[in-house]
Amino acid sequence: MNMKNTPTDVNKTPPSHNAGALKTIPSLPVKRRSKSLEVSGKKDKPHSVKQEPVTSPFERDSYFSTSIQEILDRSTHAMAARFTGGLSPSALASAYADWAVHLASSPGKQIQLVEKAAKKSLRLANYTSQCADKSKASPPCIEPLPQDKRFSDKAWQAWPYNLMHQSFLMNQQWWHNATTGVRGVTKQHENVAEFATRQILDIFSPSNYFLTNPEVLQKTAEEGGQNLVRGFQNFVKDVEYAVSGKKQADVEKYEVGKNLAVTPGKVIYRNRLIELIQYEPVTEKVHPEPILIVPAWIMKYYILDLSPENSLIKYLTEQGFTVFVISWKNPDPKDRDLGMDDYRNLGVMDALDVISKILPNQKIHGVGYCLGGTLLTITAAAMARDEDERLKTVSLFASQADFTEAGELMLFINESQVTFLEDMMWEQGYLDTTQMAGAFQLLRSNDLIWSRMIHNYLMGGTVELNDLMTWNADATRMPYKMHSEYLRQLFLNNDLAEGRLLAEGRPITVSDIRVPIFAVGTEKDHVAPWHSVYKYHLLTDTEITFLLTNGGHNAGIVSEPGHPHRNYRIGISKADDRYQNPEEWYAETPEQEGSWWPEFITWLKNRSEDGTSPPPMGLTEKGQKLIGNAPGSYIYQK
C-alpha cells in the first residue's frame, strides 16, 4: 500500500497550492488498496479473477493528448460560458427547436391554443367590465399557484392592479399550455422549454416594476421616497461586493471558529484532500461504535455544526457518541485530475483506516449528507463487494443513488449541457463557486431573484442573515475530473443505480449493501426530492428506516429539538417486506410533531452497544501528534 496518504503522515503539512495560472500536470494515479491490507484484524480476500487495468477517457484527457482543433472548440465554449452563467445555449436551442418543430406539425394543438386564447380573452374582458362596477366585488378569473405569493397583498385587488396581475397570470397559463402537451417532444425538452418560457415571462411581471407595483407605490408615498434612497444604497453595496469579492457586513457577524463550527475537537489526520476531525467527548461513557460523517464536497462541512444551539455534531456528542467528520479541501487547478475514486479512497476510506487504528476491531456508523451520502453509498457498496465489514449502519440525509428523478436540476443535465460544463472546467481545472450559481437561482427565481430585488431595491429593505444563510454563501470548487465523472456517470447515465459504476475498475451495486439504512428526505427538497431518496427501497435488500421531515434540502436537516413548526413521518421496512410506493407510504404513515433528531438518536442507540470509556483523541497513544484544533485549516480555504 502506498503509505504516502496513510495515517502515518498525520504530522506532515500538505503541499501548498498555487491558485494562479493553470499548470499542466500528469494525471494522478488513483491509490489502489492492497488485496492483503489488514483492517481491524482481518484481511481482504483476494479476488479470484484477475482484472485488466481500465483506462478511462478522463485519464487520457490532458492538454498533451488533445488536438489543437479540440482545444479551440473547448476554449470557445469556455468563453461563452462566462456570459451564460454556465448554461449551454445549444441545450436551450435544441429544446425550443424540438418543441417548435412538433408544434408546427400539430394543427390540432394549434387550434386548441387558439381556442384557449379566445376563451381567456373573453374571460379577461368580462372581468374588466365587472371591475368597472366598483359597487360589486369581482371574483378573480384566475388564481395564482399556491407557492406564488407575488400578488397576495390586498393592494393588488384594487384597480388597475387587479387587471394587470390577472392579465399576467392568464398569459403565463396560456404559455404553459403552449409549451406542454405537444406530442413527440421529449420530456426533458418539454421541461426545459416550459421552464425557460416561465423565466422569460417572470421578467415582465407587474410586481417587478415601480409604476406597476402598488405595494412599492404605497411604501414610497408613506416614506416620501426614502425607501428608494435605501434601495439605491443597497444596489451600490451589492455592486461593490460583486466587483471586490468582499463579504457583506451582515455575513461577517458569523465567523467560522468563533460562533460557527465551534464544537471542541481536534484535527487528527490530513492528506491532500481531507482533514479528519475527532470531537471531544462530553459524557463519561460513550457508545463503542463511532460515527463518521461524510459531508458534501460542494459546500463546507459545518452545515452540521452551525451555531451551538443547532449543531447536529454537538448534539451527537451530548448523546454519548464519538463523532468524526471529514472536512474537504477546496480544490485548486492542481487538483484537476482528482476523480471519484480519489474522493472515495483519499476521503472515506482513509478516514475509516484512521478510525480503525484508533478503535481496532470496532464497527462504525457511517453518516452521509447530500453528495456525501451518495459517496458513502458508493463506498459502502464497494466495501460490501470486497467483504470489508467495518460499517455497522449507513445513514443518508437528503442523498440519492438513483438520479432518474433528481429534481429540477435535471433541467440542466443532458449531453449538450454536460459537455458545455466539461469544456468550461477543462480549461481552468475546476468548477468555480460562482459558475452555475445562476442555474440554482433560476430554479427558485421568484424567491431568490425577483422578490429579493423588490425587497432590497424598491422597498429599501434589508435581509437579516442567519447562520444557515452564511453557510450557504460559503461554497467550494470541484475538480474537473471528479465533477465530470459525477455528472456523466450518476446524473446522465445513472450508472450507480443500474450497476455500471466502477470502483477501482470493477463494478459495484447498491443491492450488495446489507447493513441497516436510515434515510432522511425533506418535503420541499428541490435538489434531492424525497421521492428520489425513497428509491433506496428499490435499490437495496436490507432494512430501511425512512424518515420524511418538512422543510427544504438544508433547513429540513438542520432541525434541532425545539425548532418551531417541525414535523416528520417515519416508517421501517424490513429486508423481506413487500414494496410500498411513496404515495401509499405517505398516506399510511402518521405525522408526528417536533424534531426528527431524537428519532435518529434512538435508531443509532438501538444498533449500538452499551457505553464504555471514551477512546483516545487521535493516534497520540501511538506516538503521533495531533495536527491542531477543530475546525482545522481546510475550512478556511477560499
What's the pLDDT score for residue 42?
Answer: 40
Handedness of CA 461, 465, 468, 473 (dihedral sign): positive
Judge whether residue 378 has pLDDT over 90.
Answer: yes
Single out the residue in 212, 238, 273 at which a domain terminates.
212
Residue 168 sits in the same domain as residue 307: no
Neighbours of 341 (CB within 10 A): 23
3-state secondary structure 248-295: CHHHHCCCECCCECCCCEEEEEECCCEEEEEECCCCCCECCCCEEEEC
On the question of pLDDT at 441 being above 60, the answer is no
Task: Express as a percent the part of the chain with pLDDT over 90.
Answer: 62
Assess if residue 259 is contained within a domain: no
Q: Which one-letter amino acid corresponds to residue 6?
A: T
Q: Per mean pLDDT, which range of 11-15, 343-347, 461-465, 564-568 is the poorest?
A: 11-15
Tell me the average pLDDT across 116-140: 86
Residue 24, in any domain of the structure: no
The residue range of the domain holding 606 is 265-404+494-636
Task: Report DSSP letters for 300-330, one per residue.
Answer: -GGGGS-SGGG-HHHHHHHTT--EEEEEE--
pLDDT for residue 402 is more than 90? yes
Q: For residues 273 and 171, state if they share a domain.
A: no
Residue 83 above 90 pLDDT?
no
Catalytic residue, from 78, 256, 338, 370: name it: 370
What does R_g of the chain's alpha carbons equal in angstroms?
27
Round to whole Å and give the CA distance between 610 and 607.
Answer: 10
The Cα 299–Cα 405 span in angstroms is: 22
What is the residue-wise DSSP string for 483-526?
HHHIIIIIIIT-TTTTT--EETTEE--GGG--S-EEEEEETT-S
Q: Look at residue 130 and tell me if it is in a domain.
A: yes
pLDDT classification of 471: cutoffs 50, 70, 90: confident
Please state whether beta strands 323-328 and 274-279 pair in parallel, antiparallel, or not at all (unpaired).
antiparallel
* Residue 5: pLDDT over 70: no
Three cell numbers at 169? Answer: 397570470
Domain count, the chain: 2
- In this structure, the answer to whether residues 626 and 529 fall within a common structural domain is yes
Which amino acid belongs to residue 329?
Answer: K
Q: Running DSSP on this structure, what letter comes out for residue 181?
A: S
Whether the pLDDT of residue 443 is over 90: the answer is no
Q: In terms of domains, do 298 and 198 share one?
A: no
Q: Is the pLDDT of residue 605 over 70?
A: yes
Residue bearing the bigger pLDDT, 603 or 144? 603
User: Is the pLDDT assigned to residue 374 strictly greater than 70?
Assistant: yes
Sole residue written with cell 408546427 = 104
Question: Mean pLDDT of all residues in the chain?
Answer: 85
Instruction: Establish whether 370 is a catalytic residue.
Output: yes
The pLDDT-based confidence of 419 (bands split at 50, 70, 90) is: confident
Selection from 213, 194, 210, 197 nearest residue 152 by Cα:
213
Q: Are residues 200 and 295 in the same domain?
A: no
Any idea what the CATH number is for the domain that residue 548 is in?
Answer: 3.40.50.1820
- How far apart, in whole angstroms, are the C-alpha atoms of residue 536 and residue 399? 10
Confidence of residue 48 (pLDDT cuts 50, 70, 90): very low
* Distance (Å) of CA 163 to CA 157, 451, 458: 8, 21, 22
Give the predicted TM-score (pTM) of the model: 0.83
User: Which residue, of 176, 196, 212, is where some domain finishes?
Assistant: 212
Residues 187 and 319 in one domain: no
Q: Please report which confidence band the pLDDT of residue 28 belongs to, taking 50, 70 and 90 as the band edges.
A: very low
Both 353 and 499 in one domain: the answer is yes
Q: Is residue 565 part of a domain?
A: yes
Q: Does residue 239 sit within a domain?
A: no
